Amino acid sequence: MKKSLVLALVILALTLLTVPAASAQDIGELTVTCPNGLSFTNGVEFRVVQMRAGFDYRVTAIGINGFDPVLAVLNSQLAEGLCADDSPEALNFAASLPSSGEVVATTTSAQLTFHHTGQGSMENTSIVVGGYGDSEGQFILLIEGMAATAEDNAGDPFAIRITPAMLESNVPIFAYAIATVEDFFDPTLAQIDANYNVVTDSSGVAVSCDDAGTNNCYLDAPNLSDYGLVLDGTILPGGDLDSALLIDTSTMRLNNDPDLNFINLLVSSFGEQEGHYVLAIHVGTAED
């Protein structure tokens, strides 16, 4: 039976985050300047909308084929933001995914661990990855600490800012939701609009995935049982219920307003289950 994506009646607005440490100066660049003076101008922004307080989050950027990522985490509570490059803590992180193949652990991976303690229960957080020295290449971003809970309403929304550097890399967006081994959790992935409606392609097919490798998954994404992640030396295997989604950006036309160049994704659960998962995103960026 085809599983359906359950959308709550209460809709959270996909609000935009403004932070002093990052700026989209024009549609051609996203610049981040770190407190230590390190900067890059070919950043890719991943915005976690309404990130929950009281959870610990860990984000890791792993370069592919020698790419050296620089990582920044920005929100309203981090006036100067957090930055990382060549993190020793990330030495035992790796990935094996359909889009990337085996990506081995490397000394150039970047990692940050953070949480927010604001008075409100939710906080928008931007994770920005660029190349050291504005170099071009591909990388995998791992976001740990995510969970589906009863308070999530429609699910966990994410937004990816599309820049010319991403389009020039000719690498689509590959997103994966992999449940942790502690939970029997069935994550679903979908591209949504600002009103949380699932986007359809030119043929009217929903851009969503429930159980990669089945006909419930857009573009016949492969089953993830033969793939997985290595998180601090511990293997997190993919499974039959995990989801994968490809977003083709090759025909996308950018708006002159950078804040209108976002693609929105939603992670939710089949049957309103609760559980933890890791979000893995494979993208590319070109030299600015």
Three-state SS string over 131-152 comes to: EHHHCCEEEEEEEEEEEECHHH
Which residue is associated with the tokens 């793939």? Answer: 227
Which residues neighbour 286 within 8 Å (Cβ) at sequence distance 6 or greater?
42, 136, 164, 165, 166, 168, 169
Structure tokens at 171: 């690498």
Phi-psi region of 23 (alpha: psi -120 to 50; beta: other; left: phi over 0): beta
| Residue-level pLDDT at 17 | 29
For residue range 219-253, what is the model confidence (pLDDT) as tens digits? 999 999 999 999 999 999 999 999 999 999 999 99
Exposed / middle / buried, residue 39 (Cβ in 10 Å: 0-12, 13-18, 19+) = middle
| Residue-level pLDDT at 80 | 57
Which residue is associated with the tokens 């995103």? Answer: 281
- Residue 169: Cβ within 10 Å count: 20
Cα-Cα-Cα-Cα torsion 76, 80, 86, 87, nearest 10 degrees, comes to -60
Asked if residue 159 has pLDDT above 90, the reply is: yes
- Grouping H, G, I as helix, E, B as strand and the rest as coil, residue 169 is helix
What is the spatial distance between Cα 125 and Cα 77, in angstroms, rounded to a whole number?
A: 9
Question: Average of pLDDT values for 256-263?
Answer: 91
* Of the candidates 94, 78, 174, the residue with the CA atom closest to the CA atom of residue 126: 78
Asked if residue 7 has pLDDT above 70, the reply is: no
- In sequence order, what are the beta bridge partners of 124? none
pLDDT band at 124 (very low <50, low <70, confident <90, very high): confident
What is the spatial distance between Cα 116 and Cα 121, in angstroms, rounded to a whole number?
A: 9
Question: Average of pLDDT values for 196-217?
Answer: 96
Q: Which helix (H) or strand (E) holds 258?
A: none
Strand ordering across the sheet containing 187-192: 82-85, 69-74, 122-131, 44-52, 156-161, 262-269, 187-192, 208-210
For residue range 29-69, what is the model confidence (pLDDT) as tens digits? 788 888 888 889 999 999 988 777 777 899 999 999 999 99
